[in-house]
Amino acid sequence: MDLTDLHFIALTEDGGLLAQKLAAETGGQWHGLNGRMGAIEPDQGFDHAIDHIRDLFLSGKPVVGICASGILIRAVAGHLNDKWAEPPVLSISEDGAVVVPLLGGHHGGNLLASRLAKLLDATPALTTAGDRRFGLALDAPPSPYVLADGAQAKPVMAKLLAGTGVALIVDLPENLTHLAQAWQEWLSPLSQNQSPDGDNVTDKVTLALSLKPQDAVDADLVFHPQIASLGLGASRHCPSDEMAALIETTCRDHGIATASIRAVYSVDLKADEQAILEAAISLGHRLQVFTPERLEDETPRLVHPSDVVFAEIGCHGVSEASALAGAGAEGQLIIPKVKTEHATMALAIDPTAAYCAQDCRHSGRVMLVGIGPGQSQWRTPEATQMVASADELVGYGLYIDILGPAAKGKPRRNFALGEEEARCRYALEEAGKGRDIAIICSGDAGIYAMGALVFELLGRDEDHGGVSDAARRVVVDTAPGISALQGAAARTGAILGHDFCTISLSDLLTPWAHIEKRIDAAGQGDFVIAFYNPVSKRRRVGLAKARDILLKYRPASTPVILASSLGRPEESIRHRDLGSLDVDEVDMLTTVMVGASTSQRITHGGKKTSGQSVFTPRGYAKKIDAVDDASDAPSSDQKETSA
């Protein structure tokens, strides 16, 4: 793991001094608790340690706390679910004497602990048996090696710890045997399981290094050198299962493990081809693309150059050229183009195992991020991860500000209210250049926010106000957020217990006559209604008109909830009745929830409900009454007797 990814957390001035030193030596960042760092200035300050640590962890950031282990444990304990995906969490004592990997020991944590301990001349408190005995973890090999089946590492290590001997097998083509040296050096501590004359102490376990699939190698553990570059091409709307089958069948027929693939490439014109994108993801990679001009440079090395392809997109091949461009000047094409009706693939290897293509880019991505009301407890881990992974944050400045520490240090582009189309267009065009852009929306991005506008722009032709071809090829991902109606309902009971709808009272984009028809229809249908955008500086009468329309269909005592700044320190919840609803109590940050004719308000204790709860029954009482009536009715025998 790259030490520059580390985030050091300090809660005291002494901890800050150590964090500052480690950040300087590793290239990482250090974060300090505001008001506790004295004269030193952290890269990023924070007010609430538990919240800040949790946000970093959910963002996938390796966390190193210069603090008690318990603080780190409490921050992340409720969010542990996948040890293979979670980032490492380490604790360092304030005196720098002990480094403790708490999480992710076999996901880089133990290695980080050892490297940081070396910098500090400290003791790494490693508790995993393999690391203690041999100084290595079989399921965490160094680059470029990967383990075929991580689940097998534990039983194999158990045998080695019990004294079982070990044999290393190199099963590589002759021109690649040089790749075995670093692998063998990494595993050299296991040699202590050999007797002085070279024979195994007991039965031996075999560890193999091979390009072949695991089931084709006779060994207890199989490692692969990740040196293969996969090039893919496809006709438009290629079926995903066709592409997946082509890759699986071709690699198997040629004796190549798909785990040996280190990257997936194509031409930029295919950046939005779903079959190619899904194939890359299924292999654990993100698609990278080259321009046709760059791929044309590879023409002298192609086995199957095509004038037809050149006439269509400007290069003589896609799959072969992409594989070779990804493998570098020393790359060797080991599987020339193989094709089906709609898909093509080729595979090249980089014998140096060190080449990193710099003249390609990732397929661009727009992330529609619903942040709820803004507080981290109501923000999904997916939304937090999107914010952390974005190259730039785009949105109304207030919404980005609400992110607090999660947005600090991130490039951002602020847009004012009324510039919604400009912000979506900017995000799409920047993503078309291969960047990851997060559009920050309060509440949920698909509810009165930017989601629909992004897709509207993608659906237009460029000549009719749409976006460029490059922008139309970007990936769009959405992280749902807690919307205002959900927050208001949660804070006040269960007003959304039966059918409901939402209506925006803003007539900027929808004629008021249409809005009135919707209010009237919702009144006739007896829906619970969440009114968004109830008033503005220039709009003061719409909510009053809505109230009067609804009073035709439901009683004046109908419960109304006025919810403002939900989930924020200035949160306000007020209970009113429909008949006495005063428009002057409502501002732009208020969501107005109007109950149905069946909605009820009761007095009920609760930390957040101010002693009042509103609920809309769904009809269970009728069901219970029907059951009671049936049980009270005389049986057929009783009827006959009474007759």
Is the Cα torsion angle 109, 114, 117, 123 positive or negative in sign? positive
497 contacts 618 by C-beta, under 8 angstroms: yes
- Measured in degrees and rounded to the nearest 5, phi and psi for residue 32 equal -125, 145
Residue 135 lies in a domain: no
- For residues 424 and 505, membership in a common domain is answered with no
- For residues 386 and 464, membership in a common domain is answered with yes
User: Total domain count for the chain?
Assistant: 5
CA angle 46, 50, 51 (to 5 degrees): 65
- For residues 422 and 501, membership in a common domain is answered with no
Residue 402 makes CB contacts below 8 A (sequence gap 6+) with 371, 373, 374, 442, 568
Question: For residue 137, what pLDDT is reported?
Answer: 85
Residue 643 lies in a domain: no
| Count of Cβ atoms closer than 10 Å to residue 84 Cβ | 9
- Give the Cα separation of 381 and 361 in Å (integer): 26
Residue 209 lies in a domain: yes
What CATH number is attached to the domain comprising 435? 3.40.1010.10
- Give the Cα separation of 173 and 177 in Å (integer): 7
What is the domain extent for residue 161? 145-224
Q: In the 8-state DSSP scheme, what is residue 565?
A: S
Q: In the 8-state DSSP scheme, what is residue 635?
A: P
352 contacts 328 by C-beta, under 8 angstroms: yes
Which of 322, 342, 361 is the last residue before a domain boundary?
361
- For residues 249 and 333, membership in a common domain is answered with yes
- In a 3-state reduction of DSSP, which class is residue 563? strand
For residue 574, the surrounding DSSP H or E stretch is strand 572-577
- For residues 496 and 468, membership in a common domain is answered with no
- For residues 245 and 356, membership in a common domain is answered with yes
- For residues 200 and 307, membership in a common domain is answered with no
Residue 392 lies in a domain: yes
- For residues 189 and 100, membership in a common domain is answered with no
Which of 224, 255, 275 is the last residue before a domain boundary?
224
Residue 320 lies in a domain: yes
Question: For residue 2, what pLDDT is reported?
Answer: 64
On the CB side of 167, CA atoms within 13 Å amount to 14
Residue 638 lies in a domain: no
Helix (H), strand (E), coil (C) string for 493-505:
EECCCCCEEEEEC
- Give the Cα separation of 29 and 49 in Å (integer): 16
On the CB side of 124, CA atoms within 13 Å amount to 20
What CATH number is attached to the domain comprising 332? 3.30.420.180
CA angle 633, 634, 637 (to 5 degrees): 150
- For residues 527 and 414, membership in a common domain is answered with no
- For residues 328 and 403, membership in a common domain is answered with no
Going by C-alpha positions, the residue among 193, 196, 198, 218 that lies closest to residue 208 is 218
Please report, for residues 151, 276, 277, 319, the alpha-carbon distance to residue 237 in angstroms, rounded to integers and kept in the order given: 36, 10, 12, 17
- Give the Cα separation of 440 and 394 in Å (integer): 6
Question: For residue 636, what pLDDT is reported?
Answer: 46
The amino acid occupying position 158 is A
- Give the Cα separation of 403 and 407 in Å (integer): 6
Q: Is 584 exposed, middle or buried (0-12, 13-18, 19+ CB in 10 A)?
A: exposed
346: β partners: 231
Question: For residue 605, what pLDDT is reported?
Answer: 66
Please report, for residues 18, 31, 56, 440, the alpha-carbon distance to residue 66 in angstroms, rounded to integers and kept in the order given: 8, 10, 15, 32
CA dihedral 59, 63, 67, 72 (to 10 degrees): 50
Q: In the 8-state DSSP scheme, what is residue 357?
A: -
Residue 111 lies in a domain: yes
What CATH number is attached to the domain comprising 597? 3.30.950.10
- For residues 20 and 64, membership in a common domain is answered with yes
Please report, for residues 304, 312, 458, the alpha-carbon distance to residue 309 in angstroms, rounded to integers and kept in the order given: 11, 5, 27
On the CB side of 522, CA atoms within 13 Å amount to 26
- In a 3-state reduction of DSSP, which class is residue 143? coil
Q: Which two tokens stand for residue 314?
A: 């400007």
- Give the Cα separation of 568 and 566 in Å (integer): 5
Question: For residue 376, what pLDDT is reported?
Answer: 77
- For residues 498 and 615, membership in a common domain is answered with yes
Please report, for residues 364, 377, 427, 493, the alpha-carbon distance to residue 367 in angstroms, rounded to integers and kept in the order given: 10, 20, 9, 32
Q: In the 8-state DSSP scheme, what is residue 364?
A: P
387 contacts 431 by C-beta, under 8 angstroms: no
The amino acid occupying position 602 is I
Taking 70 as the pLDDT cut, the residues of the chain under it are: 1-2, 105-107, 193-202, 605-610, 621-643
334 contacts 349 by C-beta, under 8 angstroms: yes
- Measured in degrees and rounded to the nearest 5, phi and psi for residue 381 equal -55, -35
Residue 138 lies in a domain: no
Q: Which two tokens stand for residue 367?
A: 């992330």
Which of 448, 482, 516 is the last residue before a domain boundary?
482
Question: For residue 407, what pLDDT is reported?
Answer: 84
Which parts of 121-213 fold into alpha helices (H)?
129-134, 153-161, 180-186
Summary count for the chain: helices (H), strands (E): 22, 30
